[in-house]
Amino acid sequence: MHIMLLFFSFIFLLFNSSVSSRPYHPLDPLSPLEISQVRTIIRASSVGKHNLTFQYSGIDEPYKPVLLSWLSDRSNPTPPRRALVIARSLRRTHEIVVDLDKGSIATHRIYQGSGYPMLTVEEKGAAKALPLNHPPFLESVKKRGLDLALVVCEVFTVGWFGEKKTSKRATKIQCFYRGGTENLYVMPLEGITIVVDLDEMKITDYFDRFVVPVPKSTGTDYRASRQKPPFGPRTKPVAVIQPEGSSFEVNGHSIRWTNWNFHLGFDMRAGPVISLASIYDAEKQKFRSVLYKGHLSELFVPYMDPTEEWYYRTFFDAGEFGFGLCAVPLEPLTDCPANAVFMDGYYAGQDGQPVMVKNVFCIFERATGDVAWRHTELGIPGKVVREVRPDVSLVVRMVSTVGNYDNVIDWEFKQSGSIKVGVGLTGILEVKGVEYVHKDQIKEDVYGTLLAENTIGVYHDHFFTYYLDLDVDGSDNSFVKLRMETRRVTDSESPRKSYWTVVGETARTEADARIQLGQDAADLLVTNPNKKTKLGNDIGYRLITGPAAASLLSDDDFPQIRTAYSKHQVWVTPYNRSERWAAGLYTDQSRGEDNLAVWSLRNRGIENKDIVLWHTMGFHHVPCQEEFPVMPAFSGGFELRPSNFFEYNPTLKMMPPGPINWSNCNTST
């Protein structure tokens, strides 16, 4: 078998010699051929002799200085093409770097610390099928008077709650009923605890502690075909028209739109990865760097029910489930407008074979009728001067459905130089079955809102943490807080008593840069202290923060230990290639020993250095009846906005798009 694998590896490398020599961008995600090549190389090695599972595969990015050197002079050697694989074999976690240029394993080590890699689609499928053949569970279903054929189960990670010894790689299973509806999440089977050993793939613990009514299915089906009168008013069709085609170009994974250039990659953990975003400065006649790399680093979703069947529900959607792994194909004309261009994504399945996610990204120009800027001048006698620029932007979108929630992720590029990051939360609330049918019956804390009969929507949080390696016109940057300070007027000639002014503080160490929003008024900027505008101002980009909720859990609570960074919404660290995932590389059952807050305790210098900005958008979610049985999208976002980066408004000389000749529409001024 080993000889055969070596033979096929040799044939594969011969077949793909043209592929390895083809031009590619060093940050391109692994292609299907490369994913297969990685699988062949690893399976032919000693580690591939045993029951090997691929938990993560992605590019092992070149060292930043090497890549920047190559970008500045393409005559330099192309950075080596490597893949990072995290695999499981014989209950051990393997970190393997494969050199795709040489067709061999470059490094291999066995991880010895706490925590496990993210779950695969295949092992989740195997685990959630186990209860359906487990006699005690069959008895529990029968006791509740339910039809086993309509029972569906899902996998829930178990977290960590102070265990001293290394625990088994395990998961818990929650089951639901779909009798009368396809909205299975609103009909949970409460009182049952099922624990599965993922390495052995068997049920190790089973408890059925109590029975409460399964919530009714009436009115819970969200499909349009199942709705009954009376209906709400219907809008007339709305179309997006671009008679001359789109204004952006997609070349592989590189995208060019008006004054923006950037690279778009897909990662099975992060989802969309934006790299090398630069903007053209007409005054300087060149592209200037803004964002070296940006992506979602973690999404922490802790639920606030401490009871036996719920306390462990403190999920890390990127590190445990894979935010990109949970990406769903986007539907034209519904998820994305008619003018959208779609891009597929690929990841390695549990067996190492490439898996395609069709239409994982859509890219489109957005023109919603908003104004980029305008002014009407009425002060000139006998004359009115009016000038308006419509707001047109470019959007990259992905949707990740992690269990019950659908997370809509947008990266929006604006001609003004801003990058806006948006999130939309929709899907199905995670609900708890209870005996109550009216709020007046509730006498104790039920940890949520009564949404329907026998149905509690449990309180919870959403903390979206973004990794933002800003390179503002170069890699050496500083983090500056501009505080608004009230001052008294001492000049007796003024009738004013007070005013506010700006006091700038440059953070010198990581401790200086930890920000709890809302404590004081401040603008937060990443500046380049080595470059100034013609007028002498430090060039920079301002972080306009998103929803500012911070964790309310106690510091000694185990989920909070694992996500200690969630009490500050802004962190700044010096660039470190290994520090990318805010909750640590191995998040499943992690113990808080490797995360953003721990790294920052080193209190490294960050002034005039290559730095990374981390921003957490936080939502405290108190469910309400309007969010049942399906939740209207709840949106938030943040903005990276130029601050003295340009000499003047960069959209001043960008001419508005030409008019569209509508056969049934006349305009006059």
Sequence-distant (6+) residues with CB within 8 A of 411 are 272, 274, 294, 395, 396, 397, 419, 420, 421
User: Cα 449 from chain centroid?
Assistant: 27
Give the C-alpha separation, 570 to 546, whole Å. 11
CB of 288 within 8 A of CB of 278?
Answer: yes
Phi/psi class of residue 625: alpha, beta or left (left: φ > 0; alpha: ψ in -120 to 50)? alpha
Structure tokens of 381?
A: 């006698």
Give the C-alpha separation, 621 to 401, whole Å. 18
Give the C-alpha separation, 502 to 500, whole Å. 7
Sequence-distant (6+) residues with CB within 8 A of 367 are 240, 390, 391, 392, 657
Query: Residue 665, exposed/middle/buried by CB under 10 A (0-12, 13-18, 19+)?
Result: exposed
pLDDT, residue 18, reads 36
Structure tokens of 306?
A: 């401490």
Structure tokens of 1?
A: 């078998």
pLDDT, residue 131, reads 98
pLDDT, residue 519, reads 77
Strands 170-177 and 151-157: antiparallel
A 10 A CB-CB count for 193 gives 15
Give the C-alpha separation, 114 to 166, whole Å. 7
pLDDT, residue 573, reads 98
Beginning with the edge strand found earlier in the chain, give each strand of the sheet holding 92-99 in spatial order: 53-59, 82-89, 92-99, 104-111
**Tokens 């040489």, residue located:** 102
pLDDT, residue 24, reads 79
User: Cα 137 from chain centroid?
Assistant: 36
Give the C-alpha separation, 542 to 504, whole Å. 13
Give the C-alpha separation, 127 to 168, whole Å. 15
A 10 A CB-CB count for 403 gives 18
Give the C-alpha separation, 190 to 146, whole Å. 13
Return the bridge partners of 363, or none. Answer: 341, 396
pLDDT, residue 664, reads 57
Give the C-alpha separation, 284 to 539, whole Å. 14
CB of 646 within 8 A of CB of 283?
Answer: yes
pLDDT means per 10 residues, the chain with 669 residues, are: 42 40 79 97 88 96 95 91 96 96 96 96 98 98 97 97 88 96 96 97 97 95 92 87 90 96 98 98 95 98 97 98 98 95 98 98 94 93 92 97 97 97 97 97 97 98 98 98 94 92 96 90 93 97 95 98 97 97 98 97 98 97 98 96 97 82 55
Closest CA to 31 of 80, 83, 73, 77: 83
Give the C-alpha separation, 6 to 44, whole Å. 6
Question: Is the dihedral angle over the CA atoms 560, 563, 566, 571 positive or is it negative?
Answer: positive
CB of 68 within 8 A of CB of 386?
Answer: no
Which stretches within 76-130 are classed as H helix?
Answer: 121-129
pLDDT, residue 665, reads 56
User: Cα 125 from chain centroid?
Assistant: 23
CA distances from 374 to 377, 390, 415, 574 (A): 10, 9, 15, 40
- DSSP letters, 360-412, are EEEEEEE--S-EEEEEEE--STT--EEEEEE--EEEEEEEEEETTEEEEEEEE
Known catalytic residues are 317, 405
Structure tokens of 351?
A: 């067996």
Give the C-alpha separation, 128 to 473, whole Å. 50
